[in-house]
Structure 1
Amino acid sequence: MQKSISMFSKEAYRIFEESIKKYHLIDKVDQNFENPYPSGTIEHLLYRKNWIDTVQWHYEDLIRDPDIEPGAALELKRKIDASNQDRTDLVEYIDSYFLEKYKGVKILEDATINTESPAWAIDRLSILALKIYHMKEETEREDASEDHLQACRQKLSVLTEQKKDLSSAIDQLLADIEAGRKYMKVYKQMKMYNDDELNPVLRGQKQG
């Protein structure tokens, strides 16, 4: 991504919108995935990250169907668990990109650490792009009441303001890291429920 730091969030959001629109051309959770960006680039990671979020968004819709069969619900729950792991992995890949990008930066003596890494803030921007897309859909429904449409317009306005604030915060964080005013320290997500040594249920099955 050959963009200035001040433009990073804008370009990231454009990629998220591209992913969301591509998904909704077919609008099926089991459709084939094709990444239009070269492997090894930040664009590739951002597109993949949002695609995972978009598919999971629709998994969450499906599993809330009150008429879903128990077997189908269990299968879908496992897909959601796997998707959550993929999401976490992609966040860590994105943070690895920034760690490599800024490894040569001289950290100032009074530099501070942020409450979240750049990638976790970008994760929130990806989810926000999905909220805005679907809320905008709600404002355009022809079968909805005027009260519903008005309420959704108000929510969309709030989400749009949130996008502006979050984008600004991401760009400021990256600028601070690049200038040495803040430094990155990334902790790998130690998810215990997928580990057959840490999850007592899985451990019991292994021992059995």
Structure 2
Amino acid sequence: MQFSQIANRIFEESISNYHHLDRVDQELKNPYPAGDIAHLLYRKNWIDTVQWHFEDLIRDPEIDPVAALELKRKIDASNQERTDLVEYIDSYFLQKYQSVEIKEDATINTESPAWAIDRLSILALKIYHMKEEAERTDASDDHRKACQDKLNVLLEQRKDLSTAIDQLLADIEQGNKYMKVYKQMKMYNDEELNPVLRGQK
């Protein structure tokens, strides 16, 4: 089974499990053993799914300003956790392919495997929620048709991205491409780099 098939199946499982309760405060119950790539993929998508719903909540025009500020801080923390986990997944691939002999004419990709997988996880959420809209019984025919058209595009996009990820991993494994991971140097949560936080010290 191709890596993308495994990832897509795990993402769908995570999204489905989240929607059993559909609450942002529910506990993450990861069904995969720690240290396994499946564990990382499930956790990655769970973070994305919770954040998706955080973003829905903060757009409520009637939201209390204090609650909105608290939610914004949760979104910031979620973004940091998401970034950290992407880098952790890339570390997994770096270790997996560390003994590969890189060819002299090997090239680097525009993004690392984990950041492509990050996009695949977000696509899974878009597909889930667009499918919901395309099947809404209380919506107009025009709405459902428009959403079905968008869903078809998203499904095609997932197919293309899945193929690209599998090809990238194959190229790395064969030494045709090499990985070079740059840590995401987030500045807004760092007390030394964010001037607002620095001024409060």
Q: TM-score, normalised by structure 1?
A: 0.96
1:15 offset after TM fit, Å?
Answer: 0.3
Give the equivalent residue in structure 2 for 1:138.
133
Give the equivalent residue in structure 1 for 2:82.
87
Q: How far apart, in 1, do the equivalents of 2:155 and 2:28 lie? A: 28
1:174 to 169, 176, 183: 169
Give the equivalent residue in structure 1 for 2:197.
202
Q: How far apart, in 1, do the equivalents of 2:76 and 2:68 lie? A: 12
Aligned positions of 1:16-95 closer than 5 A: 16-95=11-90
**For residue 94 of structure 2, what is the amino acid of its counterpart?**
L
Q: Secondary structure at the match of 1:38?
A: coil
Q: How far apart, in 2, do the equivalents of 1:165 and 1:140 lie? A: 24
1:20-61 deviations in whole A, cap 9, x for unaligned?
Answer: 000000000001111111101100100000000000000000
1:85 offset after TM fit, Å?
Answer: 0.2
Structure 2 residue runs of 5 or longer lacking an equivalent are none
Q: How far apart, in 2, do the equivalents of 1:202 and 1:89 lie? A: 21
1:136 offset after TM fit, Å?
Answer: 0.3
**For residue 62 of structure 2, what is the amino acid of its counterpart?**
D
Q: TM-score, normalised by structure 2?
A: 0.99
1:157 to 132, 152, 157: 152
Q: How far apart, in 1, do the equivalents of 2:188 and 2:157 lie? A: 32
Q: How far apart, in 2, do the equivalents of 1:72 and 1:195 lie? A: 23
**For residue 40 of structure 2, what is the amino acid of its counterpart?**
L
Q: How far apart, in 2, do the equivalents of 1:34 and 1:196 lie? A: 32
Q: Secondary structure at the match of 2:200?
A: helix
Aligned positions of 1:178-197 closer than 5 A: 178-197=173-192
Structure 1 residue runs of 5 or longer lacking an equivalent are none
Q: How far apart, in 2, do the equivalents of 1:145 and 1:34 lie? A: 37
1:98 offset after TM fit, Å?
Answer: 0.0
4+ long deviations beyond 3 Å: none
1:56-107 deviations in whole A, cap 9, x for unaligned?
Answer: 0000000000000000000000000000000001100100000000000000
Q: Secondary structure at the match of 2:47?
A: helix
